[in-house]
């Protein structure tokens, strides 16, 4: 009994910290692991066994493969396919959501969304439709697609491994397909026919020209002969109080120097491209003995050239930028890029840029060197929203990636090679054929998720070892009372959905799987339908922007508010409940 109290207290504190969000979920998971290990519930020797668990290895391999597929150029090919969708919102939602659903069945959810998010924004821009009608359906489609195969989402991998512990064999690659595909089809149909109509129409936020009126803030000034700035470098330049400006670059002899401008000594006659509000600009001109060039503002084209790119990007949940400012990160000196503007929830933030702390979902307007800006964005874990040019040899790379990936799926599907081994083999081959570099391989692994899984798997085992899972299962049976077992299934699905809306879906699967197994044992039923309920519910985080990274990523570009998600998410979850439970019972009979 004491062990159960320790486990329940640990889980309650862990859930609170997950929801609070002050500490990262991987740190919280490690603290939970330490708690159940130091108290002896999980033997010290097994404390870190979760990091060698097949589920953890498989998730890491899937992330590497997803990045390789992205690198192959599939995004560029996909964008060409979708250019002919026209202005019909129903058709746009149906095709985009259907496509991301299909893709995310075979690659990481975030990877699938990353492929099509820039495409969706381009379609919105060209058709004049609000991106708010397209982006949430796209994010929800990426979650629905994950239901269809074992590798579609980490919860499916986790649930498969729990089945191996319960009955001696895991779910196979396509065991999820009958239920998952049925639910995904129903979900996409609902979103395309009805769901998008429930979303807000937030028009006019579909491009950086519309959202970031940078011409109101960026100015060109010339150094006068007696300017104190002459012979000084931008790097390390100290401004007096009241002068809050961002010097983006230098124009010298009609040539822009942006990337290396911080190291150049300023000369008489140089022009500075400056970002500032009107008051700071006036103070800067007076202090620096400068002169406005022409009008008070310049066109955005001045910020780009053959060497300099102007690009929008979304801050991802795992970005090291989060809770830091541009000054903290020293963006210009460390990375050679300038922060031009920030948008949050579809609205530009009108504050001092250097003092704004970045948050997940923020949309940034940046400029920097064309040849390195994509690499810099990967390092900062930001998703670029700009169009990309078709690369030479794209079709050949797509064929390589598809052949390796298809072979891995075939080997695991027919049972010749365990899924964790077949996907590790595929990841290694992707490196050998140069679809992904060694550096990108390590960058592509979502290490917080790996830490979360490795730590929470022993915590889930502690719930089982202590008898806590059996106790919780008994309480669920008391709640369902004399209702038939199918009602208990529905209750389990609802509980898992709710948990997944407030904590990471992988953690939800780890916590709910042992409860599902004990529910099945208590009813004398097969564990399969109960584990299927957990897999289904853990991937249905549709009520909040914090339930899944896909939801967070579209919040900024779509201009969504926190309360927008349940408007589409709640009816979608009801549809999933109505469709999912009968499908589970049909394909995975209760056996009672």
User: Same structural domain for residues 467 and 578?
Assistant: yes
Of 111, 116, 210, nearest to 446 by C-alpha is: 111
For the entire predicted model, the pTM comes to: 0.78
User: Same structural domain for residues 239 and 364?
Assistant: no
Question: Strand locations in 224-337, DSSP E?
Answer: 246-252, 255-257, 271-275, 290-292, 308-315
DSSP run (H or E) holding 487:
helix 485-502
User: Same structural domain for residues 521 and 476?
Assistant: yes
Residue 218 CA to residue 211 CA, distance in Å, equals 15
Chosen domain end from 243, 271, 296:
296
Residue 130 has pLDDT above 70, yes or no: yes
Find where tokens 């060109």 sit.
220
User: Same structural domain for residues 369 and 228?
Assistant: no
Q: What is the strand order of the sheet 347-348 is part of?
A: 347-348, 338-344, 363-369, 308-315, 382-384
Q: What is the pLDDT of residues 30-87, one digit of tens each?
A: 999 999 999 999 999 888 998 988 888 988 888 898 888 878 876 567 666 776 677 8
Q: C-alpha angle 219/224/227, rounded to 5°?
A: 100
* Mean pLDDT across 547-552: 84
Q: What is the pLDDT of residues 294-350, one digit of tens each?
A: 544 455 555 555 566 778 888 987 788 988 988 788 887 788 787 878 888 767 776
Q: Is residue 301 part of a domain?
A: no
Confidence of residue 392 (pLDDT cuts 50, 70, 90): very low
User: Same structural domain for residues 476 and 372?
Assistant: no
Of 581, 461, 470, nearest to 533 by C-alpha is: 581
Q: The CATH number of the domain where 279 resides is what? A: 3.30.70.1450
Q: Which domain holds residue 258?
A: 218-296
Q: What is the pLDDT of residues 337-374, one digit of tens each?
A: 878 788 887 677 766 677 788 988 888 888 777 777 88
Confidence of residue 393 (pLDDT cuts 50, 70, 90): low
User: Same structural domain for residues 109 and 241?
Assistant: no
User: Same structural domain for residues 179 and 69?
Assistant: yes
Identify the pLDDT of residue 566.
92
User: Same structural domain for residues 450 and 536?
Assistant: yes
Q: Is residue 263 part of a domain?
A: yes
Of 579, 545, 589, nearest to 185 by C-alpha is: 579
- The answer to whether residues 396 and 74 touch, using CB atoms and an 8 Å cutoff, is no
Residue 22 has pLDDT above 90, yes or no: no
- The answer to whether residues 397 and 73 touch, using CB atoms and an 8 Å cutoff, is yes
Residue 216 has pLDDT above 60, yes or no: no
Identify the pLDDT of residue 571.
97
User: Same structural domain for residues 248 and 330?
Assistant: no
Domain count, the chain: 3
Confidence of residue 390 (pLDDT cuts 50, 70, 90): very low
Residue 582 has pLDDT above 80, yes or no: yes
Helix axes 154-167, 447-465, angle to 10 degrees: 30
User: Same structural domain for residues 526 and 583?
Assistant: yes
472 Cβ partners below 8 Å, 6+ apart?
Answer: 463, 515, 518
Residue 201 CA to residue 89 CA, distance in Å, equals 12
**In the predicted model, what is the mean pLDDT of the chain?**
83
């Amino acid at each position: 009994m004491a062990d159960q109290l320790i486990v329940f207290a640990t889980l309650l504190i862990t859930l609170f910290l997950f929801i609070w969000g002050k500490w990262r979920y991987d740190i919280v998971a490690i603290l939970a692991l330490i708690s159940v290990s130091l108290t002896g519930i999980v033997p010290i020797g097994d404390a870190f066994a979760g990091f060698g668990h097949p589920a953890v290895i498989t998730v890491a391999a899937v992330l590497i493969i997803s990045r390789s597929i992205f690198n192959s150029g599939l995004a560029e090919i996909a964008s060409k396919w979708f250019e002919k969708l026209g202005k019909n919102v129903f058709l746009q939602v149906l095709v985009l959501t259907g496509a991301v659903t299909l893709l995310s069945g075979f690659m990481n959810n975030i990877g699938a969304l990353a492929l099509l998010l820039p495409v969706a924004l381009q379609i919105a821009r060209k058709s004049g439709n609000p991106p708010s009608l397209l982006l949430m359906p796209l994010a929800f489609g990426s979650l629905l697609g994950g239901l269809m195969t074992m590798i579609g989402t980490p919860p499916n991998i986790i649930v498969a491994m729990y089945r191996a512990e319960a009955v001696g064999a895991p779910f196979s690659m396509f065991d999820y397909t009958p239920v998952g595909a049925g639910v995904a089809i129903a979900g996409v149909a609902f979103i395309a026919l009805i769901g998008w109509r429930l979303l807000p129409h937030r028009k006019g936020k579909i491009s950086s020209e519309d959202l970031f009126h940078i011409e109101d803030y960026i100015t060109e000034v010339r150094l006068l002969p007696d300017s104190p700035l002459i012979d000084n470098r931008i790097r390390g330049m100290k401004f007096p109080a009241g002068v809050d400006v961002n010097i983006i670059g230098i124009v010298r002899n009609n040539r822009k120097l942006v990337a290396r401008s911080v190291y150049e000594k300023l000369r008489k006659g140089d022009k500075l491209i400056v970002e500032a509000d009107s008051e700071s600009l006036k103070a800067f001109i007076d202090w620096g003995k400068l002169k406005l060039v022409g009008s008070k503002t310049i066109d955005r084209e001045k910020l780009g050239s053959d060497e300099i790119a102007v690009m929008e990007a979304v801050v991802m949940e795992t970005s090291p930028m989060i809770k830091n400012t541009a000054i903290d990160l020293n963006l210009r000196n460390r990375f050679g890029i300038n922060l031009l503007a920030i948008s949050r929830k579809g609205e530009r933030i009108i504050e001092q840029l250097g003092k704004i702390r970045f948050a997940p979902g923020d949309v940034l307007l940046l400029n920097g060197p064309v040849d390195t800006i994509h690499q810099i964005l990967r390092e900062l874990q930001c998703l670029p929203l700009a169009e990309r040019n078709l690369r030479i040899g794209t079709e050949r790379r797509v064929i390589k990636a598809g052949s390796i990936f298809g072979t891995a799926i075939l080997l695991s599907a027919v049972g010749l090679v365990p899924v964790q081994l077949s996907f590790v083999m595929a990841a290694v081959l992707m490196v050998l054929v140069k679809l992904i570099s060694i550096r990108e391989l390590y960058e592509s692994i979502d290490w917080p998720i790996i830490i979360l899984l490795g730590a929470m798997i022993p915590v889930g085992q502690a719930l089982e070892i202590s008898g806590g899972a059996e106790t919780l299962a008994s309480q669920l049976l008391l709640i369902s009372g004399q209702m038939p077992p199918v009602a208990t299934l529905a209750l389990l699905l609802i509980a898992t959905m709710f948990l997944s809306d407030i904590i990471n879906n992988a953690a939800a699967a780890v916590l709910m799987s042992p409860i599902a197994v004990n529910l099945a044992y208590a009813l004398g039923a097969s564990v399969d339908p109960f584990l299927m309920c957990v897999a289904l519910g853990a991937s249905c985080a549709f009520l909040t922007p914090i339930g899944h990274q896909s939801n967070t990523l579209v919040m900024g570009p779509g201009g969504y508010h926190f309360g927008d998600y349940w408007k589409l998410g709640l009816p979608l979850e009801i549809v999933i409940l109505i469709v999912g439970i009968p499908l589970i019972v049909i394909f995975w009979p209760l056996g009672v």
